[in-house]
């Protein structure tokens, strides 16, 4: 690795006054990046900023209990970025104030989510069709709080309506501290591959930091994204599912060029066990068991007998059952045979 590239890729990410290092971000993922998931990524090292699940500014404003409970980070997770969505400046400003009061380090406004429950309120991806509203919302949020406000967006609505560059300029002009760009259009959903060139073009259009996002699954991918786009930070979503250690691997690779080995099967099972126990502590056994099923499936991907383990996990009703299934799975991972690296 050339020294220049090494230094460039490991500059910290400056969001407002917040120095984020390493410049690697856990993507906000609804139903996934709860406290336990964020903490697993943070604890393994290398993750500079964690993103919460998206929360409704409207529900925050109306004191919705479950929504308020989502503001549930602990000190060890910091810095934490809380993602909010809302369709009007007043609602988003109020949501931002509540999130600031709760102690968030960064507030991120969602301007890319296509889910009907979000876009039908004029929020999320709907704002890509109404950049004037997007501007009013960002301006209102920035004025309402001292905490840095970022925007997360997609390439555009579709290939003929690319808005990322314009929205990044609007974000900068409205006092936003950074912009994250997922290189897919709304219409694309998660199909095809992310267009990293849009990230490069956004980077060239604004002075605020740009966080690149889409299809980073390995340390080499992250390195390529930094190099090809010039982005200031890299956000990882699906690549971290059942692989909270990915941030440590990426940061090690960026810092030293070293490729750390993937944990073997037995280690992955132990990661899953730690994750489920933590989730039980956070949300109680019943909910943890329900929410953990998907995570365990990601952890055991590729393990011998994964299909059978998966079926048992889907039927599990208690922590004890999950522990038994994990013990059995561990037994199937004979040392030296199932290394799964």
Ligand X SMILES: Cc1cc2nc3c(=O)[nH]c(=O)nc-3n(C[C@H](O)[C@H](O)[C@H](O)COP(=O)(O)O)c2cc1C
Residue positions annotated with a catalytic role = 113
Separation of alpha carbons 266 and 254, rounded Å: 27
Quick check: 216 binds ligand X (CB under 6 A)?
Answer: yes
Beta bridge partners of 110: 152
Q: What is the DSSP letter of 146?
A: S
Separation of alpha carbons 126 and 277, rounded Å: 38
Q: How many CA atoms lie within 13 A of 307 on its CB side?
A: 0
Size of the site for ligand X (CB under 6 A): 21
By CB under 6 A, name the one of 44, 110, 229, 316 that touches ligand X. 110
Separation of alpha carbons 24 and 46, rounded Å: 7
The residues, ordered by sequence, that sit 6+ positions from 66 with a Cβ below 8 Å of its Cβ are none
In whole angstroms, how close is the CB of 31 to ligand X at the nearest point?
A: 6
Binding mask 233-252 for ligand X (x = CB under 6 A): ---xxxx-------------
In whole angstroms, how close is the CB of 304 to ligand X at the nearest point?
A: 27
Quick check: 152 binds ligand X (CB under 6 A)?
Answer: yes
Q: Restricting to residues 171-200, which ones interact with ligand X according to CB under 6 A?
A: 182
In whole angstroms, how close is the CB of 110 to ligand X at the nearest point?
A: 5
Separation of alpha carbons 128 and 111, rounded Å: 7
- Collapsing DSSP to helix, strand or coil, 225 comes out as helix
In degrees, rounded to 5, the angle at the alpha carbon of residue 102 between the alpha carbons of residues 96 and 108 is 40
**Candidates 38-46, 63-71, 211-219, 242-250 — which segment interacts with ligand X by CB under 6 A?**
211-219
By CB under 6 A, name the one of 10, 30, 102, 131 that touches ligand X. 30
Q: Which is nearer to ligand X, 71 or 326 (CB)?
A: 71
What is the token pair recorded at 299?
């952890």
Q: Which is nearer to ligand X, 89 or 214 (CB)?
A: 214
Quick check: 149 binds ligand X (CB under 6 A)?
Answer: no
In whole angstroms, how close is the CB of 111 to ligand X at the nearest point?
A: 8
By CB under 6 A, name the one of 59, 113, 186, 231 that touches ligand X. 113
In whole angstroms, how close is the CB of 335 to ligand X at the nearest point?
A: 32
Q: What is the DSSP letter of 270?
A: H
Which residue is closest to ligand X by CB? 237
Q: Which is nearer to ligand X, 145 or 150 (CB)?
A: 150
Q: Where are the alpha helices (DSSP H) in 214-245?
A: 219-229
In whole angstroms, how close is the CB of 286 to ligand X at the nearest point?
A: 22
Separation of alpha carbons 294 and 292, rounded Å: 6
By CB under 6 A, name the one of 195, 215, 232, 291 that touches ligand X. 215
Q: Which is nearer to ligand X, 112 or 233 (CB)?
A: 112
Separation of alpha carbons 339 and 187, rounded Å: 39
Separation of alpha carbons 106 and 243, rounded Å: 24
Query: Which residues bind to ligand X, rule: CB under 6 A?
Result: 27-30, 32, 53-54, 83, 110, 112-113, 152, 182, 213-216, 236-239
């Amino acid at each position: 690795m050339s020294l220049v590239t090494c230094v460039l890729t490991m500059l910290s990410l400056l969001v407002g006054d917040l120095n984020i290092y390493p410049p690697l971000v856990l993507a906000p993922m609804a139903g996934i990046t709860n406290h336990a998931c964020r903490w697993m990524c943070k604890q393994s090292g290398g993750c500079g900023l964690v993103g919460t699940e998206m929360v409704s500014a409207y529900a925050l404003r109306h004191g919705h209990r479950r929504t308020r409970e989502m503001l549930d980070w602990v000190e060890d997770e910091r810095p934490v970025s809380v993602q909010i969505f809302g369709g009007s400046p007043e609602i988003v400003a109020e949501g931002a104030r509540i999130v600031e009061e709760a102690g968030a380090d960064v507030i991120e406004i969602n301007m890319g989510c296509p889910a009907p429950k979000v876009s039908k309120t004029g929020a999320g991806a709907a704002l890509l069709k109404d950049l004037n509203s997007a501007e009013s919302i960002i301006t209102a949020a920035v004025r309402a709080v001292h905490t840095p406000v970022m925007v997360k967006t997609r390439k555009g609505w579709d290939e003929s309506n690319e808005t990322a560059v314009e929205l990044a300029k609007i974000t900068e002009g409205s006092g936003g501290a950074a912009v994250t760009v997922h290189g897919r259009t709304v219409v694309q959903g998660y199909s095809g591959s992310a267009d990293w060139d849009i990230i490069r073009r956004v980077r060239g259009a604004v002075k605020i930091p740009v966080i690149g996002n889409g299809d980073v699954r390995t340390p080499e991918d992250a390195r390529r994204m930094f190099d090809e786009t010039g982005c200031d930070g890299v956000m990882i979503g699906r690549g971290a599912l059942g692989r909270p250690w990915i941030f440590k691997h990426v940061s090690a690779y960026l810092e030293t060029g070293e490729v750390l080995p993937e944990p073997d099967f037995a280690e992955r099972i132990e990661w899953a066990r730690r994750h489920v126990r933590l989730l039980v502590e956070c949300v109680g056994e019943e909910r943890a068991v329900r929410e953990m099923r998907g995570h365990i499936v990601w952890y055991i991907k590729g393990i011998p007998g994964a299909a059978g383990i998966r079926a048992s996990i889907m039927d599990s009703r208690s922590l004890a059952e999950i522990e038994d299934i994990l013990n059995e799975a561990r037994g199937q991972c004979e040392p030296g045979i199932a290394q799964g690296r």
